[in-house]
Amino acid sequence: MLSKACLVGAYQRKLEELARLDGVELTCLVPPYWLQDGTPIRLERAHTRGYRLAVAPIRFNGHFHIFHFTGLHRWLAASRPDVVHVDEEPYNLATALALRLAQRRGARGLFFTWQNLLRRYPPPFSLWERYCFCAAEHALAGNREAVDVLRQKGYRGPVSVVPQFGVDPELFRPRPRAPRAEFLIGYAGRIVEEKGLHVLLDAVQGLPSPWRLQLVGSGPAQPALSRLAARLGIADRVEFMPHAPSVEMPAIVAGWDALTLPSLTRPNWKEQFGRILVEAMASGVPCVGSTSGEIPHVLGEAGLVVPEGDAAALREALARLQADARLRQELAGRGRERVLARFTHARVAEQTYRVYQAMLAAPARPA
C-alpha cells in the first residue's frame, strides 16, 4: 500500500486490522512527512503491529497532483506484491506511476477516490486519470457520489464503496466528564472557508448562555474568523486550538457536548465524508451536520442535519441539544451503534480485504 494519509498514527489501526486477516502480508509505504497547507504532518508510529511501515522519499512534497514516490520500482522488486493498493486519486501522478510499475511486475492494482464532483481535468491530469482507469483492476470509492463520478468519467471496472479509514472504538469512546455549567461545542478539521465556520459563529452568537466553542485545526481562514468572533462579541467564548496529534484527539473529542460540521458545497468541493463525525459518534458525542456531500449519509438517523449555510437552522439544532439532555443521550447511543456497525477500522479492513480477494480471483485485465 502507498499512502501519505497513513502518516497519521490513528489511521494505522486499519493496517493492523488488515494484517491480522488470513494470508495478508502487508507493507505500507509512507513519505517522511507531508506538507498540508504549509504545515508539515510528520510520521507517527502509533500502530505498527503485524505489518511493515516503511518510509520512502517523494518528490514535490505538498503538491497533491504531482507528488510521487521515488525508488518505488526497487520496493516492488524486493517485495513482489500480489496487490498494489494506491491510496490516491486516479488523476494524480503518484497513482499513474505506481499502477504502471505494478502492471510491469504482474501485480493487481487499485486506486482510491473521494472525488464526488464531476470535474474535467486538462492534460496531463486527464491522461493520468484515463491511464489509471485502464490499468486498475478495482477502484475504492469513499462515498456513493464518487461511484457516479467514476462512471460518468468512463471508468468501467469494478468499484466498491469503502471509507478510506475507520475509527478505533477503544480510543474514541464515551468518557466521564467533569460537571460544568457551559455547553461545549466542538469542531476539528481544516480552518478554511468551505467548512462553514463563519456560519457556525453566526449560529452560536444567538445561543443562550453559557456556552463555549472549541475549534481545533489550522488553516488560512483563522484570522478572518478571529476578527468575525470579535465583531460578534463572542471572542472570549471561541477557542482556537492548533492542529493536535491524532493520539490526543480522543480525549479532546470526548470532552465536547456536541460536534458540528457545517460544511458548504462549493463549485470545486463538497464534503466527501467528514471523519470527525464518526470520531464524535464513537465518543458518544451528538452531532449536527449540514447537507453538504456525504454528511447526511454518514450521520443517518444518528445525528441532526440542517441545510448548509443556514445559520438560523444550525442555531436551532444546537439549542435543541443544549436544552435537551435526553436528546443528547439518545443521539449519543445511536451514533455509537452506527459506528460499531459500519465505521470501525476492523469493518473497513474487512471490506478492503474482500476487495483484494475479489481482485485476485478475477481474470487479470490485459496490459
Looking up residue 95, the CATH number of its domain turns out to be 3.40.50.2000
Is 176 inside any structural domain? no
Mean pLDDT across the chain: 96
User: Which grid coordinates belong to 313?
Assistant: 437552522
* Closest listed residue to residue 137, CA positions, set 104, 163, 161, 103: 103
Q: Per-residue pLDDT for 63 more than 80?
A: yes
Q: Report the pLDDT averaged over residues 64-90.
A: 96
Is 290 inside any structural domain? yes
For residues 63 and 202, membership in a common domain is answered with no
What one-letter code names the amino acid at 89? E
Residue 332 near residue 282 (C-beta atoms within 8 A):
no
Is 333 inside any structural domain? yes
Please give the pLDDT value at position 178. Answer: 83
Q: Per-residue pLDDT for 108 more than 70?
A: yes
For residues 160 and 241, membership in a common domain is answered with no
For residues 269 and 349, membership in a common domain is answered with no
Q: Per-residue pLDDT for 34 more than 70?
A: yes
Is 175 inside any structural domain? no
- Tell me which long-range contacts 239-242 makes (C-beta under 8 A, separation of at least 24): 239/212, 239/213, 239/214, 239/215, 240/191, 240/215, 241/214, 241/215, 241/216, 241/217, 242/216, 242/217, 242/218
How far is 34 from 58, CA to CA, in rounded Å? 9
Q: Per-residue pLDDT for 367 more than 70?
A: no
How far is 235 from 59, CA to CA, in rounded Å? 41
Considering the entire predicted model, what is its pTM? 0.87
For residues 117 and 208, membership in a common domain is answered with no
Is 178 inside any structural domain? no
Please give the pLDDT value at position 10. Answer: 84
* Closest listed residue to residue 203, CA positions, set 319, 82, 80: 319
Q: Per-residue pLDDT for 177 more than 90?
A: no
User: Which grid coordinates belong to 150?
Assistant: 467514476
CA 1 to chain centre: 17
Residue 173 near residue 260 (C-beta atoms within 8 A):
no
Is 244 inside any structural domain? yes
For residues 146 and 218, membership in a common domain is answered with no
For residues 70 and 91, membership in a common domain is answered with yes
Q: Domain tally for the chain? A: 2
For residues 25 and 160, membership in a common domain is answered with yes
Is 65 inside any structural domain? yes
For residues 219 and 131, membership in a common domain is answered with no
Q: Report the pLDDT averaged over residues 303-318.
A: 98
Range of the domain at 124: 5-166+344-361
For residues 208 and 355, membership in a common domain is answered with no
